[in-house]
Structure 1
Amino acid sequence: MSFKAVVVGAAGGIGQPLSLLLKQSTLVKELALYDVVNAPGVAADISHINTPSIVKGYLPKDDGLQHALKDADIVVIPAGVPRKPGMTRDDLFNINASIVRDISVGIAAHAPKAFVLVISNPVNSTVPIVAEVLKKKGVFDPKRLFGVTTLDVVRASTFVSEAAGKPTESLEYRIPVVGGHSGETIVPILSQTQPSSNFDQSTLEGLVKRIQFGGDEVVKAKDGAGSATLSMAFAGARFATAVLEAASGKSSQQPEYTYVHLSADAGGKEIESSLPGKAEYFSVPVLLGKNGVEKILPIGNTTDYEKKLLETAVSQLNGNISKGVSFVESSKL
């Protein structure tokens, strides 16, 4: 089984490597690349790769977004401006919110049944923007809308394996990362690390901070030349592949962590009732199926330290979510 995949923002720092990775997937039969500039050039370049999918590039002129989205099975959205030194993800809101809103209007009209994967930051707010637009258009399905938080899981695996003195074994380390996708809303549940690792409190706190603010390392190292684009593209492609594999009928063996509306499954109510405060959206462990979210799994037992991290995350997330919802309420669609 193969699918039509769309990358919106395909000419950007995340979009190009993400498109390259999706071109390699045997699950993709058609790859539509859309951006405000350079998408046809990226498509021409990638189209020379000898994998079966057909690649086409689209620009805004001649209803390019409409044609790109038509018959889409999955839409991945890395569109928007990247972070610069000193910027937080929330600093990006005013620019990226409008971009994501307008893309969402196009999805509602031309690909209402597609799986929608949001990478554009701040994810804590942009996912609610997409949801509110789809609600207003009468096509919202919480099982098919995802905020991509896979990079937090990837970083956690890398950083924990390094701290354990086993850097070459990072693939073996599975660490649940829940909450949101910025700073202190990111909550690594290190007590559930598999294989188990014991760290002193100082090392533990250092790991949590590094996982929460790992993006800052890249922004600083690139010295004004960009943010975490390549690792984000890897994480985005990994999650997109998991969604497509599940849609093709391959049962999910391991949970994926993704930022979803907790109404996507009954398990979301259990998580919401276990949290130290109300949160309509949360990054949670999910099993994927043919229709997207098949099951939301419990977060599991947490330490007192992790409970405090969750309290901080929930308090910050509510403001992020409200910001996205209010933006759509004040918009003319």
Structure 2
Amino acid sequence: MKNKVTIVGAGMTGSTMCQILAQKNYTDIVLIDIIDGLPQGKALDISQAGTWGNFDINIKGSTDWKESANSDVIVITSGVPRKPGMTREDLLSTNASIVESVITNAVKHSPKAKFIIFSNPMDAMCHVALKSSGLAKNQIIGQGGMLDTARYRTFIALESGKSVSEVNAWVLGGHTEATMVPLISNASIGGVPIDEIMGKDSIDKTVERASKGGAEIVGLLKTGSAFTAPAFATIEMVESIILDQKRILPACALLNGEYGINDAFVGVPVTLGNNGIEEIHEFKLSDKELSQLQNAGAAVKELVKNLE
């Protein structure tokens, strides 16, 4: 049976995800939105690109949840995007209601699906998704760490003058400026520790810029937020699950004792495969990094309390 991925939300991010995934040419795609005509039009446009884009898969746009039935992976992008001056936390109550409604409908038709949560504030939305759906914790995966890691690696490459393909660096923690933990202790460029290539000031500058990476783009765009890098980051996760690649990637997972954190969704290294989150990996962190990660867990718990 052919694989099936549903993307909820046909805005800039969702439609870009659809386009990137279509070019992979290994799964059918359903694009869902509440605005009639929007997902249908986007799906048709992307389908027609297959003639010259060398892909031939079924892409369907719909407002009917029945079309999403038996999906292997469902990506939830629904929600209000950030505008200049807004924090991800400002979106809390509005997006919580949206995510709850979306996942309740989705689970009715795809109870075995793995859900990738993209809506902000992402860490808290993972809690909403788990509580609303009754799914197993391995089925709920937050996207944030993939995007934050991409930004961190990009800024390291720009600051050091090296190829981004040579950069190995991770961002753990929460998907907010205050709770991100860009790791320095195990960051490297071409296998060389980062502090042997970059000075302390450059490293500190890069860490700060990575933490504010989303806000930087929101400030430049004025009327929206990033969508291309988030889309590419998300499809890497989809691919690891659909193709059972078992890649170790940064993602938001429910922790139960790992890193000394309990009952909180926090960005950590995980193995992603057919079963969703198949393993949580505990990197060796510096004392400062571990403390920051635990503080991120506490902050997520506090944020979730505001929804109760």
| Counterpart for residue 105 of structure 1 | 104
> Which whole-Å CA distance do the structure 2 matches of 1:181 and 1:262 have between them?
15
Question: Residue 6 of structure 2 contacts residue 71 of structure 2 at CA under 8 Å; is this kept in 1?
Answer: yes
| Counterpart for residue 213 of structure 2 | 214
1:79-130 residue CA offsets vs partner (Å, 9 max, x unmatched): 1121100000011112211110001111221111001000011101111000
TM-score normalized with structure 1 length: 0.84
Amino acid at match of 2:149: V
Q: How does 1:18-29 map to 2 (within 5 A)?
A: 18-28=17-27
> Which whole-Å CA distance do the structure 2 matches of 1:22 and 1:134 have between them?
25
Q: How does 1:284-323 map to 2 (within 5 A)?
A: 284-302=268-286, 304-323=287-306
1:177, distance to aligned residue in structure 2 (A):
1.4
> Which whole-Å CA distance do the structure 2 matches of 1:157 and 1:245 have between them?
25
The share of aligned pairs that are identical, in percent, is 30
> Which whole-Å CA distance do the structure 2 matches of 1:15 and 1:289 have between them?
22
3-state SS of 1:183 partner: coil
Amino acid at match of 2:101: D
> Which whole-Å CA distance do the structure 2 matches of 1:281 and 1:105 have between them?
19
Amino acid at match of 1:286: V
> Which whole-Å CA distance do the structure 1 matches of 2:184 and 2:86 have between them?
27
| Counterpart for residue 14 of structure 2 | 15
> Which whole-Å CA distance do the structure 2 matches of 1:86 and 1:4 have between them?
38
Q: How does 1:129-208 map to 2 (within 5 A)?
A: 129-135=128-134, 140-149=135-144, 150-166=146-162, 169-194=163-188, 195=191, 196-198=193-195, 199-208=198-207
Is 45-54 or 120-129 further displaced after alignment? 45-54
1:155-188 residue CA offsets vs partner (Å, 9 max, x unmatched): 111111122221xx10221212111111121111
RMSD: 1.8
> Which whole-Å CA distance do the structure 2 matches of 1:238 and 1:294 have between them?
16
1:219, distance to aligned residue in structure 2 (A):
0.7
| Counterpart for residue 55 of structure 1 | 59
Is 285-294 or 143-152 further displaced after alignment? 285-294
Question: Residue 272 of structure 1 contacts residue 279 of structure 1 at CA under 8 Å; is this kept in 2?
Answer: no
Question: Residue 237 of structure 2 contacts residue 272 of structure 2 at CA under 8 Å; is this kept in 1?
Answer: no
User: Can you give the 5+ residue segments of structure 1 that lack an aligned partner in the other structure?
Assistant: 264-268, 327-333
| Counterpart for residue 240 of structure 1 | 238
3-state SS of 1:79 partner: coil
3-state SS of 1:282 partner: strand
Give the 3 Å change call, closer, same or farther, for CA 100–43 of structure 1 in structure 2: same
TM-score normalized with structure 2 length: 0.90
Number of paired residues? 296
Amino acid at match of 2:151: R
User: Can you give the 5+ residue segments of structure 2 that lack an aligned partner in the other structure?
Assistant: none
